[in-house]
Structures are given as structure tokens and as C-alpha cells.
Amino acid sequence: MTGKRRIARRFDALQREGRGGLVAFVTAGDPDPATSAVILQGLPAAGADLIELGMPFSDPMADGPAIQQSSQRALKAGMTLRKTLDMVAAFRRRDDETPIVLMGYFNPIHAHGVEAFVSDAAAAGVDGLIIVDLPPEEPELVTPAQAAGLDFIFLTTPTTDDARLKTVLAQASGFVYYVSITGITGTRSASAGDVRIAVERLRRHTDLPVAVGFGIKTSVQAGEIANVADAAVVGSALVARVAANLDEQGRARPGATDAVLELVRDLAAGVAGARKRETVG
């Protein structure tokens, strides 16, 4: 990799196109490793500008039922952190452009060993990390991750006041993830107006791109959010689409991967169709 990192390059490209991006979240190994790999490979062509890949964890405290269940399905199907990294490496052999950000909780990384994890993740072609339960007060992964060339993406929320925002943004790289509601994934939705105000506040504090997530379910919502932010993140709706395409034994029905990618295409169309933004700050 030369020059800018994949995440920065992708946001530069979106800026040139004058549109916001779509960040698609899926859980690695959901509903099973083989099906999940097919979904992952298909995401860029379906219109995902960035990929957030969930690392399954037994106790996902910040997630709502849809992502909890996707995590459980993946673990039941034998998914591990090692296999998640292998899945990224396989993806990278075919796609060297689409950024992949791993999202999850700290304990599986802790068990893997921080130093080993950051070097394995970088070697696999991971671009960034979002670790829900590592606020800036617990910096033990940030420094090694950034030293290994991985961006560390921090969450900011409606409860993050200006004073705290400085602390959070001081260590952030890649982009800033704005959690648009006080709540768990896949529940309430924030209005585009509230998100606009929040994003404007963030832009006064940082030059990093801002992606907005939690509660975005439809292509219309995705378009509205992509219109006021640099990217919209959709997760629960996608893993719910996985769940809707399982048979009674929990196995993927024929056409399950297409059904998920169809929703990604729909969301991408919503994002692409949004009014072109004026260049902001």
C-alpha cells in the first residue's frame, strides 16, 4: 500500500463524486462462514463503499436483537476471530480498494493478544477498527493499532459534549462514527434534521469524514443521512435480511445472499440518488 490509506482514498473519491457513501455492516460468519464469505465478496459490486465487518461476540452489550442474533448464529456456526481475519484476507485477494473496518468488542482481541491481533489484522488487509467497549479512557489498543497502520475509529454520541469530544477526537483516525441515537443498534431512528446539527458540530472539531449509524433501515433514510454526512452506516437491516432468509433449521435458503445484496443495491441507490452535497468545510 502506498501513500494514503484505503479509508482516506475512498472518502477522497466520494468527495470528488460529490456524494455521501454507504457503509454496509454484516457479521462475519453469519449465518455460516461460507455464505458469509459470498455476501462479503458481493458487497462492493452491490454498492457498498466501505464494509464494516462484525466480529462475533457472545455478549454484545451495545447491540439490539438483530445483531445479537447474527452474532449468535455466527458463533454457533463455528466462527472465530482467526476465521474472520482469514475471511478478510480472502476478500483482499480479489479487492484491493474497498476499505474493511472490523467492528466488535475487546475481549476476543484481548484473548488473541493485542500485538498479535494488530499485526495479523494488518496482514489480512484490515483497514480500521471500531471497538465498542474501548473509549479513549482505555487506550491500550489504539497505539499499537495505529503503529501497525490500522485506523482507529471512535464512536461519538449525542451524550458526547464538546469538552469530551476533544478527548475522543484527539486519538481518532480514518473517520468518525456518529451514533445518532442514545440507544442500541437497530432500534430508534434519529431525524435527518437532528443528524445535520450533530454533524455540523462534529465538523467544527475535526477534518475527518463523519459516518452516521444506528437506526438507518431504508434507502430513503440512508439517502437523507448520506446527504448531511459523509456516509451512512446500515447494519441491523442487513443482518435482519439474513435472518429472514433462513430455513427452520437456521440454514441459508437458496437465494439468501442475493436477498441481502439486493437490499444493499437498494440502499446504494438511495445514497446515490440523494441531492449532491455542497462542499462542506
List, by residue number, the catalytic residues: 52, 63
Interface region with another protein, contact rule CB under 8 A, candidates 18-26, 80-88, 233-241, 254-262: 80-88
Interface region with another protein, contact rule CB under 8 A, candidates 40-48, 93-101, 132-140, 264-272: 132-140
SS3 assignment for 24-77: EEEECCCCCHHHHHHHHHHHHHHCCCEEEEECCCCCCCCCCHHHHHHHHHHHHC
The reply to whether 27 sits near another protein by the rule CB under 8 A is no
Among 15, 38, 41, 65, binds another protein (CB under 8 A): 65
Least distance from C-beta 230 to another protein, angstroms? 19
SS3 assignment, position 248: coil
The reply to whether 263 sits near another protein by the rule CB under 8 A is no
Contacts of 49 (CB under 8 A, 6+ apart): 10, 14, 21, 22, 23, 98, 231
The reply to whether 133 sits near another protein by the rule CB under 8 A is yes
**Which cell numbers hold the place of 230?**
459523509
From residue 3, alpha-carbon distances to 6, 234, 258 in Å are 9, 29, 35
Among 9, 41, 42, 62, binds another protein (CB under 8 A): 62
Residues that bind another protein (CB under 8 A): 57-62, 64-65, 68, 72, 75, 80-82, 105-115, 132-135, 137-138, 140, 154-161, 164, 168, 179, 182-184, 187
